[in-house]
Chains A and B, each alone.
Chain A
């Protein structure tokens, strides 16, 4: 059975979900994440769902579970890149994923996990 790869980047775990997941794959991912956090002592989990065109209640619960389990193991989770149509549908479905932190992009997600403050491009240009 194929798995969704969990990559390590320093203290972070990086997961990019690109396939239309069937339920077993989702459960496998939950297991893998918790195992890896234990194994590598990760303190942050970044899940990129920018390619996901559908998030139903099962996947939504998976994301909430990963966030909750990771927190118990001492790691923070950020879900990034949710597509507008998906966000609108999830809300209509009744899911708000309260325990899950979110960010617009992988970059923003990493800043959140590293605790950095967004400074914005104008500082680089030298303008006020």
Chain B
């Protein structure tokens, strides 16, 4: 990994409106968890686990990674500043690794604490049953897989945000729900599977579609595959605004 590119990427995020957007995004589940706690609850385990699955894993996690992953290199490609990094004798795998590490670090530093805080608020007064730790690890793994995929999209297409939204809301939100076989191609399902694997809560309270160790393996394969393809794509990067 190239530390200069890593530091540059962190500075880029710090100076962007995206970081403010990220703050707003992660405050949503915490706020909702507080509101939830103000009401009456029949089963805190079930409700909290499903809250974390439906709000954090389904929406906040992919959106945070989409915002950060597509802009890590995508915004530089779009505005033309990527040339200042690419016209250097730096292996493309080092550039992708640095971009991935920086964006995953920032995404994780927003999403994982939001998961833990929301979970602890939801489970206040009852045993944790591995829900908080399960979802914390699940979102961490989800961050790695989503970020890798969105970085790949940003170097593969100029419409990364559009394709990313399509993946999250159409593929994962619609098609995976309709056709169970497609769960093997859904990072959301991997994340939920990991949470289910770690949490000791009963199956009646929370059960994922992919609650086996395959979830870990598939997440790792998808992340590694996406990063490999991103490196290959970046090696063939072309400047297209030529006369």
The answer on A and B forming one complex is no
Residues of A within 8 A of B (CB): none
Residues of B within 8 A of A (CB): none
